[in-house]
Amino acid sequence: MKKLILLALLQALILFKVQGQSLLGHVHEEGENGHSALIGASVFWLGTTIGTATNINGEFTIDKPEKLPAKLVVSFVGYTSDTILVNNTKKEIEIHLKQSVQLGEVTVSERQQGSAFKLMDPVISESISSHELGKAACCNLSESFETNASVDVVFTDAVSGAKKIQMLGLDGVYTQIQAENVPLIRGLSSNYGMGFIPGTWIESIQIIKGPGSVSNGYESMVGQINLEYFKPDQAEKLFVNVYGNTGGRVEANIQSGYVFNEKVGMNINVHASGVFRENDMNKDAFVDIPRSQQYNVFNRWKFSGKNLVGQIVLHGLYDNKIGGQVGFKPEQGIQVTGPYGIEITNRLANIHTKTGYIVPNEDDMSVALITNWRYHDQNSYFGLKQYSGVQKSANTNLIFLKGWNEDKHQLKLGSSFNYDNYEESFNDSAFAREEVIPGVYAEYTFSIKEKFSAVAGFRYDHNSKYGSFYTPRLHLKYNPTDKTVIRLTGGRGYRASNVFTESSSLMASSRAVRVLEELKAEVSWNYGASVSHQFKVFGRQTTVYASFYRTDFENQVIIDLDANTQSVDVYNLTGASYSNSLQAEIGYEPVKRFEIKAAYKWNDVWMTTANQLRQKSLVKQHKILTTFSYATNFNKWQFDLSVHVHGPSRIPTTESNPLQYQLAATSAWHVTMNMQVTKRFKWFELYVGAENLTNFRQKNAIIAADDPYGPFFDASLVWGSTMGINPYLGLRYKLK
């Protein structure tokens, strides 16, 4: 670890020296009403091939030529070009262009949207950019959806501090989470993996509702989330982010990207974070967030040739959490007489490669090979309950793509191979599972440009433990106008459950765990529709979006908290299990640089537990999200506010508990708010904010907190925040 940090710092020093060979500049329009940034202006050295374009703030960075002084040419359509003589002492330059033709009242402007639905994509998808992620305290992936209505983030329990997502009303295990189309969070990382990806690593996030492409496998049952990390040619030469909050969390990120030449580039990301104080805001003698430490390293090498592109990514992580009652120390070990404690340790190593080959002399024909190897071990205890597991996984995906007739038709063929090996132990029981899964697939796309498209796919996989999987999927898109999009989708999905790593309710309580039968693979059908429309209100752009999805399970692994307050029963579904999810959203910019988004979501989720069809517990039936974002001219200041209104959810029955250990049948309506203010300087940004401004905390989040080794202790029935208002401060430094 020390060597990697030293390597990153050494590279940063080298890049700092290189920065002296660059020229920084700002290009603005000169007019009667002041100056405004020109986005996309062309900047180049006269007589050379060295050039660039201005960004959203009108800024540019360009390498200096070998000989100075030299002439810098700046041009923009509709403006008079300017040529500036630059000598060797110049490090920064300000340029003002005048309109070459005086027009009437015509304004052309463009701002980067942080979050947007893709109107042209045949699959129902939404993209979140790094610009949007910067609007909140995005310390890791679990905190990347605070301003997004499609994905809900909730605590898994009241003692581990872990967070999970919910999509279309169902737990995140039914959403396939990938990084650059490589499996990311599955298996042992299901419960804690959302905290393993620092937010500063992420260039963008794509959210797909409903079943995704068959080329990505069969595990996308209700949706797919795909991350794109910064590539060497996208990353800053040096990026430093430091963050701290009043809850005792401190974080540091050092990231660097460098392109050695047109064929080779690399980037390295180093992350270290920790929580170094005990917080007990609700005075129940349990820490609200565990003390922790995490070390995380990511290294990518990218190679490009004439027809061949390849890359290799190395990722290693160590994460340790210590929680429980205030004052617990891990050296005290597991004992009934001492304070109740938890400790969770994860060690992960991951390697994935991508190789792409463009077939020469063939239009639109390519072949790609993706490989992934993962080793993950986890050791934990919650009071007297102990769990350990080791996961060894390997995945390959060979893809052949051919398009013809100007991509009106496209055919994707492929084969995949997945291998999973799990060795687990829970208390005094041991479990082992091995799955070997070869598969083949085909996907055909027909499109009439900007009018209609259809994607039909089918894959077949044979699982050595669960048998054959048949996965059909269909996506249809129709554009009745250039501002309106209608989509329909449907398909099937499968997954093998990992009960002990996916359900913290098994660990964070005194309930006895009873696996009542051999568990089968989970199978579901998902189908839905959406409509998007853009129009103008008082001359300002407005976007509306609405969607409805239904998921029906053929089989589901049931984690039953209703049968008995002293046990958790695990068994296969007998009866109905389904979810309906409706979402409506509107985005409007009433004045320049002021964005408002409002969304409402209704989740109607039911499942059969203890032979009775019940509303699924701990899923909020209603949610309203409103976000406000305002940026001053040139984005020097930015103000962001998000307001979350949370509806009620059903709480598993506690009627058989003593009166003091009983909870209400449903949770309460409540409101949470997050705010952030960002000040941008030439070389760095300062941001200050606060989470949970309303200081809302769930009362009695831990049942029988005064008797953690007793029969009624339960920290798994969490529906709200366990921590109050949490102010924070951070700094971002970018060397472009």
9 C-beta neighbours (distance < 10 Å), count: 14
Q: What is the rounded CA–CA span in Å between residue 634 and residue 29?
A: 12
Calpha distance 258→267 (Å, rounded) = 6
Q: Which of 97, 123, 158 is the last residue of a domain?
A: 97
What is the C-alpha separation between 379 and 286, in angstroms, rounded? 21
Assess if residue 158 is contained within a domain: no
Distances, alpha carbon 571 to alpha carbons 467, 497, 505, 574, in Å: 19, 11, 15, 9
Average pLDDT over residues 557-584: 94
- Tens-place pLDDT, residues 381-393: 999 999 999 999 9
Helix (H), strand (E), coil (C) string for 614-641? EECECCCCEEEEEEEEEECHHHCEEEEE
DSSP assigned state of 134: T
What would the two tokens of residue 664 be? Answer: 């209400």
Summarize pLDDT for 533-545 with one digit per residue, the tens: 999 998 888 999 9
Q: pLDDT value at position 449?
A: 80
pLDDT digits (tens, 9 = 90+) for 224-250: 999 999 999 888 899 999 999 999 999
Is 233 found in the same domain as 91? no
Q: Which of 57, 81, 97 is the last residue of a domain?
A: 97
Whether residue 715 is contained in a domain is answered as yes
Identify the domain containing residue 26 by its residue range: 2-97
The whole-number pLDDT of residue 428 equals 85
Q: What's the DSSP call for residue 3?
A: H
Question: What is the arithmetic mean of pLDDT over 279-307?
Answer: 93
Rounded to two decimals, what is the model's pTM? Answer: 0.83
Q: Give the model confidence (pLDDT) of 176-227 as tens digits.
A: 999 999 999 999 999 999 999 999 999 999 999 999 899 999 999 999 999 9
Rg (CA), the chain: 27
Average pLDDT over residues 327-348: 86
Instruction: Give the pLDDT band (50/70/90) at residue 675.
Output: very high
φ/ψ region of 5 (left if φ > 0, alpha if ψ in -120 to 50, else beta) reads alpha
Whether pLDDT at 399 is above 60: yes
19 inside domain = yes
The pLDDT value given to residue 99? 65
User: What is the domain-level CATH number for residue 32?
Assistant: 2.60.40.1120
Residue 506: what are its φ and ψ, rounded to 5°?
A: -70, -25
Percent of the chain clearing pLDDT 70 (strictly above): 91
390 and 537 inside one domain: yes
The pLDDT tens digits for 468-496 are 999 999 999 999 998 899 999 999 999 99
Q: Are residues 93 and 232 in the same domain?
A: no
Helix (H) or strand (E) holding 131: helix 130-133
Please say whether the beta carbons of 533 and 219 come within 8 A.
no
Q: What is the pLDDT of residue 130?
A: 82
Tokens of 415: 């084969």
pLDDT digits (tens, 9 = 90+) for 81-139: 788 888 766 667 888 887 654 333 333 333 445 555 555 555 667 888 888 888 877 78
Band (pLDDT 50/70/90 cuts) for residue 17 is very low
257 and 396, same domain (yes or no): yes
More reliable by pLDDT, 260 or 89: 260
pLDDT at 235: 87
- Going by pLDDT thresholds of 50, 70 and 90, the confidence category of residue 6 is very low
In a domain, 124, yes or no: no
Give the whole-angstrom CA distance, residue 511 versus residue 385.
Answer: 10
Instruction: Please count the structural domains in the chain.
Output: 2
What does pLDDT average to over the chain?
A: 88
Amino acid at 2: K
Tell me if 490 is assigned to some domain.
yes
* Cα separation, 125 vs 113, whole angstroms: 15
E-state strands within 32-69: 34-37, 42-45, 51-53, 59-63
Tell me if 192 is assigned to some domain.
no
Phi, psi of 141 (to 5 degrees): -60, -35
Facing residues of 397 across strands?
Answer: 370, 416
Q: Which amino acid is at 238?
A: L
Give the pLDDT of residue 338.
81
Residue 69: is the preceding peptide bond cis (ω within 30°)? yes
Of 63, 79, 97, which residue sits at a domain end? 97
What does DSSP say about strands 223-229 and 175-179: parallel, antiparallel, or unpaired?
A: parallel
Q: Are 340 and 708 in contact (CB under 8 A)?
A: yes
Do residues 728 and 689 touch, judged by C-beta distance below 8 A?
yes
**169 inside domain:** no
Beta-carbon count within 10 A of 627 CB: 25
Q: What are the tokens at 316?
A: 């290693």
Strand order in 42-45's β-sheet? 51-53, 42-45, 70-75, 82-86
Report which of 163, 141, 143 is spatially closest to residue 718, judged by C-alpha positions.
Answer: 163
Is residue 5 scored above 50 in pLDDT? no
Provide the CATH number for the domain around residue 403.
2.40.170.20
Asked if residue 445 belongs to a domain, the reply is: yes
> Which pLDDT does position 100 carry in this prediction?
54
Which range, of 75-84, 633-642, 666-675, 705-714, averages the lowest pLDDT? Answer: 75-84
Backbone φ/ψ region at 370: left (φ over 0), alpha (ψ -120 to 50), beta? beta
* Residue 437 CB-density burial (10 A; 0-12 exposed, 13-18 middle, 19+ buried): buried
The closest of 377, 404, 373 to 388, measured between CA atoms, is 377
pLDDT above 90 as % of the chain: 66
Q: Give the Cα separation of 286 and 270 in Å (integer).
A: 32
